[in-house]
Amino acid sequence: MYEKITLHDKTFVPYISNEVLEKAIDKVAEKINADYSRSSKTPVFLCVLNGAMMFAGDILKRCNFTAELMSIKMTSYVGTESTGKIKVPMGLTGSVEGKDVIVIEDIVDTGNTIVALRDILLEKGASAVKICTMLTKPEVYKQSLPLDYVGMEIENRFIVGYGLDYDELGRNLKDIYILEK
Ligand code: IMP
Ligand code: MG
């Protein structure tokens, strides 16, 4: 099994192995393929940087229909806490006008980020917006926006790995680690 790690001043312990993640990703991809493989439109996968990079790659590899890929960078976390303020340091990399968009997120926590993103996409003329997230923290999610594709639900604790960071460290880990109690 993989071991404890230290990032900056904090210790993290193993939580979800890459093997378990991959099985959940297979299921999510199956659902997306079922929904889009017969679609007459070419959908856009929208990767929310930086966290969703790995998940987006894993979903795209499993996708059996023609799709575009765009990105946007959004931030809300400082250290291990959400600030509640969403920043967009890099806007949409392409036009979503008239397009069906599948947002790819690493984790939905309070939901502030995806609600702000949904508003941006509708304002830019997207014809439909679906949300696909690797992880959710159902205890803290307070929005009415439905999460269309969810990999796994987790408890309300701080995690790193598989794209997720603690002040920019830990994104490269292929497994997920949780802050030690
Ligand atoms: P929300 O706006 O509260 O839903 O927060 C979503 C964003 O916060 C995600 O896209 C992540 O970048 C970040 N985030 C939320 N929870 C965690 C965590 O446990 N570890 C690392 N980043 C997190
Ligand atoms: Mg993120």
Model pTM greater than 0.95? yes
Alpha helix stretches (DSSP H) within 9-146: 18-36, 53-62, 112-123
- Evaluate: CB of 58 within 6 angstroms of ligand 1: no
What was the pLDDT predicted at 82?
86
Best residue among 53, 78, 82, 179 to mutate for probing ligand 1's pocket (most ligand atoms within 8 Å of CB) is 82
pLDDT at 125: 98
The CA 140 to ligand 1 mean position distance, Å, reads: 11
Find the 61 Cα to ligand 2 centroid distance in Å.
20
- 109 an active-site residue? yes
CB atoms within 10 A of CB 97: 9
Which residue(s) pair with 75 in the sheet? 87
Count of CB atoms within 10 A of residue 23's CB? 12
Regions of the chain with pLDDT less than 50: none
From the list 40, 119, 116, the residue with the least C-alpha distance to 85 is 116
Q: Does ligand 1 lie within 6 Å of residue 105's CB atom?
A: yes
What the block records as the tokens of 179 is 């802050």
